[in-house]
């Protein structure tokens, strides 16, 4: 397993779990903190997350919440580029959450250090667009599309099926000429999965380490936490932090979170406990 992730001009050391802070630029993000076309507010949020300890920032201009409607590449880019440009000097790699090859190309040219694709580079032209750059690539599993994914997710063996899918996408990326040190995989919590599926994936997360590339996990504020705690999205901080720590203990290398400061503190406790073992 690579000990660092190659992200364009950055090399991200993965000797301990890293935090990816979410900056949502859409108007309908499920998490309730979308910066909807307000670039200055988004840049301010990004800078605050870096101050709080984010190791990467993830900019998303198209909501992937269940039932969300897609936006055009033009709209995505008009939301992304000013924020990406404003955050480039912040000192951490900037990831762009997109599935569109034209957005990948433009974001890469503008300095994005990671492409985070919830469709695992399945869109026509996406693999070629991503392979031709030097940004890190996150390949995520999803069953269906955001518009339909929560209607009736079905698996015979969710852990094995997600594992096999990610294994095929890693092989496809390597065959397209992507260096292994640029790859990250993500089981895609909440993307075409019931609560039972999500819990099985989290319980057996350590199995994904065998894929030989770092694991990224995003559970922060998601509806599975609402289903477990009965709390609305604005009150899921404690549950989100607990889920992040459980994922880190099972091998997650990068945690995608909305609440960086709180998760950072919890990771410090985990680090301190793990140090005692060494």
Residues that bind ligand HH2 (CB under 6 A): 22, 24, 26, 29-31, 60, 63-65, 97, 116, 118, 138, 140, 186, 188-189, 216, 218, 256
278 in active site: no
**Among this protein's residues, is 256 annotated catalytic?**
yes
Burial zone of 3 (CB within 10 Å; 0-12 exposed, 13-18 middle, 19+ buried) = exposed
Select which of 169, 193, 236, 256 is catalytic.
Answer: 256
Contact 20, 9 (CB under 8 A): no
Instruction: For residue 72, give both structure tokens.
Output: 């055009």
Structure tokens at 103: 């957005």
Q: What angle do CA 182, 188, 191 make, to 5 degrees?
A: 140
> Which of these is catalytic: 193, 222, 236, 250?
222
Burial of 46 (0-12, 13-18, 19+ CB in 10 A): buried
Catalytic site positions: 222, 256
């Amino acid at each position: 397993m690579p000990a660092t992730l190659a992200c364009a001009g950055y090399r991200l050391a993965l000797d301990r779990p890293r935090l990816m802070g979410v900056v949502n630029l859409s108007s309908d993000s499920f998490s309730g903190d979308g910066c909807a076309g307000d670039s200055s507010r988004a840049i301010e949020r990004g800078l605050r997350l870096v101050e709080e300890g984010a190791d990467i920032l993830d900019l998303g201009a198209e909501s992937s919440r269940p039932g969300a409607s897609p936006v055009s590449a033009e709209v995505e880019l008009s939301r992304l580029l000013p924020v990406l440009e404003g955050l480039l000097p912040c000192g951490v790699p900037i990831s762009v959450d997109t599935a569109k090859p034209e957005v990948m190309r433009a974001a890469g040219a503008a300095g994005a250090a990671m492409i985070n694709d919830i469709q695992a580079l399945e869109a026509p032209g996406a693999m070629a667009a991503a392979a031709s750059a030097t940004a890190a690539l996150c390949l995520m599993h999803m069953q269906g599309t955001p518009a339909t994914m929560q209607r009736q997710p079905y698996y015979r063996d969710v852990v094995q099926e997600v594992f096999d899918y990610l294994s095929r996408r890693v092989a496809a990326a390597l065959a397209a000429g992507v260096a292994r040190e640029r790859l990250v995989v993500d089981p895609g919590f909440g993307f075409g999965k019931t609560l039972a599926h999500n819990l099985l994936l989290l319980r057996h997360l350590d199995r994904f380490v065998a894929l030989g590339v770092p694991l990224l996990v995003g559970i922060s504020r998601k509806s599975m936490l609402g289903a477990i705690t009965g709390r609305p999205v604005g009150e899921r901080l404690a549950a989100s932090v607990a889920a992040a720590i459980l994922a880190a203990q099972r091998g997650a290398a990068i945690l995608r979170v909305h609440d960086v400061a709180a998760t950072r503190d919890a990771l410090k406790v985990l680090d301190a406990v793990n140090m005692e073992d060494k």
